[in-house]
Structure 1
Amino acid sequence: MNHLLGYLLASLILSALTALVHADNRNESLVKAFSAMTSLEDGWEPLEFPDIDHHSRYQLVDDNGEQVVRATTDNSASGLIARVSVEPGDSLVLRWRWKVSNVFEQGDARKKDGDDYPARIYVAFEFEPEEAGFFERAKRKAVEVVFGEELPGNALNYIWANRLPVGEIVANPFTDTTMMVAVNSGEENSGEWVTVERDIVADYRQAFGRKPPKLAGVAIMSDSDNTGESATAWYGDIQLIRP
């Protein structure tokens, strides 16, 4: 009898520990935290564009005792990307905090010459060929041959906007495969840390009208190549977690 009770107790403890481990894994971020990085290449890599010569600058800096990324943009554009391959499931939460020095006077998410943001989080998804037409597939294949890399499909851009109201979702003025989601807008909170949390599965459904495919990457970008303006942004840890 004592042996049986001992076995049952051990089984219960094992089950409880297994549940805790699974719970911890669910709350574990799928991208590397900036506060834990030893260099900018530690889990993230540069995101640059062939037609843009002036790149934004990214540095690991201390902000009140916590390591964050400071981005400086001056008539420039580039980013940092963490490449992932994640099935989003029914819910996938993206949580981060950021701060900007200012917004752009000429910034306007609805216009090509205003498509600049002091801070943005770019979430890229895998390409779905079954959802694309023949010419779209042919164009993508030509670009992939030239640049030697498979291109992502649709994308969500979480932006610190200028004119676009918070909560508004609009197509990017250059492509309708990227949807812009205003999570902050205007100067009201400039100079302050702001925390944002989004369910990217719900946002994708709202933006594109269907469930999302696998994630291909999460990027930060501060850009000002269209407006020619300048700003500084600070990015705290970005968490990609299953609730």
Structure 2
Amino acid sequence: MPDGSWLVEDFEQDTVGQLPLRWYNRDVERKANHPEEAKLFDYTIEEENGNKYLHYEDTNARHLNIPLLKREGLNIRETPILSWKWRVDKIPEGGNEDKGPNDVAASIYVVFDMGRVALFKKVPKSIRYTWSSTLPKGTELSKFFGNQKIIVVESGEDEMGKWIRFERNIVEDYKRMFGDKPPKRPMAILILSDADKTKSTAVAGYDDIMLKPAK
């Protein structure tokens, strides 16, 4: 891109009604649109006013993963701003990333590297940005023995039904929350909407995920 930004995904090359072509399941074992995998996902590409985006509408929890480790030339110290758009149309009632049912209408993770052992296995170090059902905007949490940091960037129903762009300096967030410098290239970006713990429904859209230089 002309300003030095990296386009991670805008879904414009994908087919309406299908899963996105470049995304995998959480552990990058196979593509999300693999016939055996696709039936497990509740995400589809939709189109509105000539623009394609990723749509979620259901209950089940299942991550979509777009790997970044092989993106040649990517260096988040040069493009530290994670920019994305999402729209939430329904939140899981009572969802709470802290102490309650861990359901969110929309969340986007940056996964950096493998962290400390938690629950007898390595857990990736990640920052998860969420649209929370109940926690106030600005809430910050630490989970999985400090390996996952959560930042609530939007909350509740007041802003539902409209596309909102968010920008976060992931290098500065990482330094502040983990206390050291992040690797130059993250492992992946993940998306998750779910309502399985509350046994309700979440509805959300995602679009225009980019890494941009700091202003």
TM-score (norm 1): 0.72
Q: Which amino acid aligns with 2:120?
A: K
Stretches of structure 1 lacking an aligned partner (at least 5 in a row): 1-22, 49-53, 141-150
Of the three residues 46, 49, 53, the one matched with 1:68 is 53
Matched with 2:22 is: 43
| 1:36-115 mapped onto 2 (5 Å cutoff) | 36-38=13-15, 40-47=19-26, 55-74=40-59, 76-85=60-69, 86-89=74-77, 92-111=80-99, 113-115=100-102
Paired residues of 1:56 and 1:72 also in contact (CA < 8 A): no
Looking at structure 1, the residues matched to 107 and 83 of structure 2 have their Cα atoms a distance apart, in angstroms, of 13
Q: Which amino acid aligns with 2:94?
A: Q
Matched with 1:32 is: 9
Comparing 63-72 and 205-214, the one that deviates more: 205-214
Q: Which amino acid aligns with 1:195?
A: R
* Structure (1 or 2) with the greater helix fraction: 1
Comparing 84-93 and 225-234, the one that deviates more: 84-93
TM-score (norm 2): 0.81
- Aligned partner of residue 204 in structure 1, secondary structure: helix
Give 1 or 2 for the bigger CA radius of gyration. Answer: 1
Alignment deviations for residues 44-96 of structure 1 (CA, whole Å, 9 cap, x no partner): 12337xxxxx955011111222001111222x101211101254326511111
Paired residues of 1:35 and 1:236 also in contact (CA < 8 A): no
Q: 1:239 Cα shift?
A: 1.0
Comparing 84-93 and 65-74, the one that deviates more: 84-93
Looking at structure 1, the residues matched to 165 and 145 of structure 2 have their Cα atoms a distance apart, in angstroms, of 28
Looking at structure 1, the residues matched to 96 and 41 of structure 2 have their Cα atoms a distance apart, in angstroms, of 20
Matched with 1:193 is: 163
Looking at structure 2, the residues matched to 43 and 182 of structure 1 have their Cα atoms a distance apart, in angstroms, of 27
Of the three residues 139, 155, 158, the one matched with 1:168 is 139
Q: Which amino acid aligns with 1:63?
A: E
Alignment deviations for residues 28-52 of structure 1 (CA, whole Å, 9 cap, x no partner): 32x232123346342212337xxxx
Matched, 1:219 2:190: yes
Q: Which amino acid aligns with 2:10?
A: A
Looking at structure 2, the residues matched to 137 and 114 of structure 1 have their Cα atoms a distance apart, in angstroms, of 20
Alignment deviations for residues 96-132 of structure 1 (CA, whole Å, 9 cap, x no partner): 1111112222111211x4211011001111125xxx4
Looking at structure 2, the residues matched to 90 and 114 of structure 1 have their Cα atoms a distance apart, in angstroms, of 37
4+ residue segments displaced more than 4 Å: none
Pair 1:164–1:155, CA change in 2 (3 A): same
* Structure (1 or 2) with the greater strand fraction: 2
Stretches of structure 2 lacking an aligned partner (at least 5 in a row): 28-38
Aligned residues: 197
Q: Which amino acid aligns with 2:113?
A: E
| 1:12-31 mapped onto 2 (5 Å cutoff) | 24=2, 26-29=4-7, 31=8
Pair 1:102–1:114, CA change in 2 (3 A): same
